[in-house]
Structure 1
Amino acid sequence: MKLKSTLLAAALLLGGNIYAQQHSEQDHSKYVAPTDPLVKEKLSKWQDVKFGLLMHWGTYSAWGIVESWSLCPEDEGWCERRGPHSHDWFEYKKAYEDIPKTFNPVKFNPERWAQAAKNAGMKYLVFTTKHHDGFAMFDSKYTDYKITNTPFKSNPKSNVTKEILAAFRNQGFMTGTYFSKPDWHTDTYWWPYFPPKDRNVSYDPKKRPEIWNKFKDFTYNQIEELMTDYGSVDILWLDGGWVRPFSTIDPNISWQKTIPYDQDIDMARIAKMARSHQPGLLVVDRTVTGEFENYVTPEQSIPDHYMSIPWESCMTMGDSWSYIPKENFKSAQKLVHTLVDIVAKGGNLLLNVAPGPDGEWHEEAYQRLEEMGKWMSINGVGIYETKPLAPYRAGKWAYTKKGSTTYAFYLAEAGEKLPATLKPEGLTLAANAKINLAGNKKALKLKAGTIEIPTKTATEIGQQPAYLFVIN
């Protein structure tokens, strides 16, 4: 992701808040809807599935640090270096880039991940094939800095991107490839002649077009590998929004004003190539408003209002995007409320879980997904293939619809049981409306717009993070 911090609680808050702010500053009124019929069809399908899994995984997990950002020579909390090499950037970068010599995720089992995600009700995947540090989690022939050039290379599943996409595809998932446009390892981005000053390219591409063109080709070639050698792909999810044409910089957005150079990698060429191999591919060039941002991606934040354009909140299950030994996972109730809030406002939730250096998740992550799955198995009817319904969110209520059916979610407080009566806030109910709770066919009575809930029905439903009323 873009601005991250995992090493200190304060840095976590700083990085997360700043990054969320950067995305919230984007002018979504300039969204450009796709015109390609196949892309429109894919986008509609994606909007129906609602709930996806994001995984940040790379060699940085071996140190339990923020993904890539400790390499960035910026004086920010999320770029802070730790450990014996932290005093010297060059020494640190060398030590960081030596991690692959010992990286060996022997517990890698993507089938377990896919099954857990499916059981949770997730229906699409985005996997980090390459983060800003340039380490390829796929068998790229354009670099030696890759997963298949580690001690794990002798494992038959060493090309982890291929294995992950296949495992999730076999469970019926839509699949997506996260790919970082900047690459801090390749010498055509951080050119060794000029040491990097920040996250940006270390030279002026206008003054060194021959180097920049090599970088453009390198990027194009690696993306083409992902689009041709890894089965069907539904989403190309591009991160690193500072790599963009200078003409796309919005002077009203604070972080974009710090971009010093035009970094145009020719998205039209990339998208055309990618869709020639993957017809209907969704291209998500994050924060670069235009025809190559098929949906927008607020990060670690939820818009405070309904948005009519396609969008997705990408958020962490814990505090960190990347693996840390002791994670602070959100409660199942918090995660369910997050999903409902997002869907009611017209978006999707892409929830991040980070594998560790051994190739396994925290067991608590599996527990959270299992808890969400239990709720989704009963209440998913009000999530999948639904549309937002005004007033979308009102107090502790959230609304969706499908055809003539209204779904009213009551977002309970921790430990809250169903009360004897509830009145959906901001929603007018017909006097003859037929109402029942999801998972219970018992018809509920309606009196003066208030739903009456018998004690027996409340007991049968049990305690839930959110209660779904089905209204016809």
Structure 2
Amino acid sequence: MQRRSLLKGGAAFLSALLLEKGYAGPLIDLNLFDTAYEPIAKGPFEPTWESLQGYEVPEWYKNAKFGMWAHWGPQCQPEAGDWYARNMYMEGNWQYEYHIKKYGHPSKFGFKDVINEWKAEKWNPDELVTLYKNAGAQYFMALANHHDNLDLYDSKHQKNWNSTKTGPKKDIIDGWAKAAKKNGLPFGVSVHAAHTWSWFETAQRSDKKGPYAGIPYDGKLTTKDGKGKWWEGLDPQELYAQNHALSEKSLDNGMIHRQWNWGNGVTPPTKEYCEKFYNRTIDLINKYNPDLIYFDDTALPLWPVSDAGLRIAAHMYNKSIKDNGKLTAVITGKILDENQRKAMVWDIERGQSNAIEPLTWQTDTCIGQWHYDRGIYDRKEYKTAQTVIHTLIDVVSKNGNLMLNIPVRGDGSIDELERKVVEDIGVWMRANSESIYGSRPWKIFGEGPAQEGAAELTAQGFNEGKGKPFTDKDIRFVIKENNLFATVMSWPLTGQVVIKSLRSGSPYHTSEINAVTFVSTKEPLKFEQTDEGLKVYFPDKQPAASYANPLKIS
């Protein structure tokens, strides 16, 4: 029937829109409509924001605090940093110039050809995940696809452009998942491919000047163009998804950011595109059973032009309940409103909240660029272990988790400078993790001058590193069982610190303080409580990795 055909697959989306418009009548019965899509697991969650707001963050995730991420795929092969597959098609961009020198002109050697160069010959997932676990990671996440649209798993809905068929000819997600399970770590996947539609529009361009002026890049090629080439029989449009008109102001390279929420003149994605993304993601969930999915989207993927993301979330939650007897799954998203934060975990990219958040949240950041950049290695510009530890402590004090990416080279290895950072994080975590794992926010998150200069969030985050550096005057608090942990964010040169929030008569801590212990050495410390604050005398000997110094106050 005509009505059935029109509404097929879109019932939840229409219901949500009706609710938003104040419609009080009966909602669409989702069970009326057959679909050709991967089915949603049955359970209490329906694909609406209202239903998903019944979500509760699982305890394992609240307790974990620290996860590590391999944001690794074919864009790491050139070793030229983030968004390579988009920027290599931007005439004049440094990555465009780099691409021409390394591979040739993008009309002749496009990103599909970069994928063919990627072999992952040194990839050892067991060794890397074990390294990360030894550094204190309590969960591990791997890139399942990026905006470049290559699925890094045996994808039945992206049959040719996946890592088992092209590039390394390996099931990357399967390898990471098995390594995480071997190490007893919950496993997450990050999914970014919803934005390929507009993100890859640069591949439709051509040079404006020079010997290749007017010659199109390879973004509009189809199967018939591949005769006699390595990709004969493959359709580049399954990868690039550029068989559509350009979005408004597409030649403005910054417009992609203003159109990230599928507004501001972006060419609307087709239903076929949205449903293929939905099917690919459900297949990923069903095959590899991730505990966590990170979406690089405003709210859920393709919202509000499609309800695909809502259906994925409902499936993930219902499947988790069915498989585990309770809801243990986590889904993260960006730029969430107050109600959306009840339906999933709010993720802040490269930034931190400036307050204790009522609901568990996450920051994701990296010691370099998301995709491996050889220049950062050459210039020795990685974040230090101290910077990572300071971020972790600050985030945890505000009810957050830290997801840290260690960039992986195209061959699947990490360099020795990165390895040293990871190992140094592990030294601190082994001595001090009592103050991190299983903790909860206190009445205030901290004190000191650093917060006075904290930068506000911009878009999905991006305020890290913009404030004052931490000193021994900066303290961060958490509680765990009957103990308060106060972490002094630098070693005091005077040999003592004064914690003003714990002064006599403090409204925050009214009970008597009986003991103060230096967490890393278990050494009891001398202290005195005055009207000025709790004065604590530090050990004479400074321990290794004293980037930050937790005190256990009983």
Q: Same fold judged by TM-score > 0.5?
A: yes
The answer to which structure, 1 or 2, has the higher relative contact order (CA under 8 A, 6+ apart) is 1
Name the structure 2 match of 1:345: 398
Query: 1:468, CA displacement in angstroms?
Result: 1.2
Q: Select 1:271's aligned residue among 299, 313, 319.
A: 313
Based on CA coordinates, which of the two structures has the bigger radius of gyration? Answer: 2
Per-residue Cα deviation, 1:180-221 (whole angstroms, up to 9, x for no partner): 1223475698442424526469x99x9999x72211221111
Matched, 1:323 2:400: no
Name the structure 2 match of 1:98: 113
Query: 1:356, CA displacement in angstroms?
Result: 0.7
Paired residues of 1:419 and 1:453 also in contact (CA < 8 A): no
Matched, 1:373 2:436: no
Matched, 1:240 2:297: yes
Name the structure 1 match of 2:184: 172
1: distance between equivalents of 2:345 and 2:91?
A: 29
1: distance between equivalents of 2:156 and 2:145?
A: 14
CA RMSD of aligned residues (A): 3.4
Query: 1:34, CA displacement in angstroms?
Result: 5.6
Paired residues of 2:141 and 2:187 also in contact (CA < 8 A): yes
Per-residue Cα deviation, 1:420-459 (whole angstroms, up to 9, x for no partner): 32211322365542111013343222223444436xx331
2: distance between equivalents of 1:297 and 1:376?
A: 23
2: distance between equivalents of 1:350 and 1:77?
A: 34
May I ask how many residue pairs the two structures share in their alignment?
Answer: 407
Q: Normalized against structure 1, the TM-score is what? A: 0.77
Paired residues of 2:397 and 2:477 also in contact (CA < 8 A): yes
Q: Select 1:229's aligned residue among 270, 276, 287.
A: 287
Q: Normalized against structure 2, the TM-score is what? A: 0.66
Query: 1:46, CA displacement in angstroms?
Result: 0.7
User: Which amino acid counterpart does residue 443 of structure 1 have in structure 2?
Assistant: P
Q: Structure 2 vs 1, CA of residues 464 and 78 (structure 1 numbering), >3 Å: closer, same or farther? A: farther
* Residue ranges of structure 2 left out of the alignment (5+ in a row): 1-48, 201-236, 322-326, 449-473, 505-510
Paired residues of 2:500 and 2:534 also in contact (CA < 8 A): no
Query: 1:81, CA displacement in angstroms?
Result: 3.0
Q: Select 2:516's aligned residue among 414, 425, 435.
A: 435
Three-state SS of the structure 2 residue aligned to 1:177 is strand
Q: Structure 2 vs 1, CA of residues 463 and 352 (structure 1 numbering), >3 Å: closer, same or farther? A: closer
Query: 1:234, CA displacement in angstroms?
Result: 1.2
Query: 1:278, CA displacement in angstroms?
Result: 3.2
Paired residues of 2:496 and 2:537 also in contact (CA < 8 A): yes
Matched, 1:182 2:195: yes
2: distance between equivalents of 1:79 and 1:170?
A: 41
Q: Structure 2 vs 1, CA of residues 294 and 79 (structure 1 numbering), >3 Å: closer, same or farther? A: farther
Name the structure 2 match of 1:421: 496
2: distance between equivalents of 1:120 and 1:405?
A: 25
Q: Structure 2 vs 1, CA of residues 148 and 431 (structure 1 numbering), >3 Å: closer, same or farther? A: same
User: Which amino acid counterpart does residue 295 of structure 2 have in structure 1?
Assistant: L
Name the structure 2 match of 1:407: 485
Name the structure 2 match of 1:459: 541
2: distance between equivalents of 1:308 and 1:298?
A: 15
Q: Structure 2 vs 1, CA of residues 102 and 179 (structure 1 numbering), >3 Å: closer, same or farther? A: same
Matched, 1:309 2:309: no
Query: 1:334, CA displacement in angstroms?
Result: 1.3
Paired residues of 1:54 and 1:352 also in contact (CA < 8 A): yes
Q: Select 1:109's aligned residue among 117, 124, 128.
A: 124
Name the structure 2 match of 1:285: 333
Name the structure 1 match of 2:408: 355
Paired residues of 1:32 and 1:294 also in contact (CA < 8 A): no
Three-state SS of the structure 2 residue aligned to 1:63 is coil
Three-state SS of the structure 2 residue aligned to 1:98 is helix
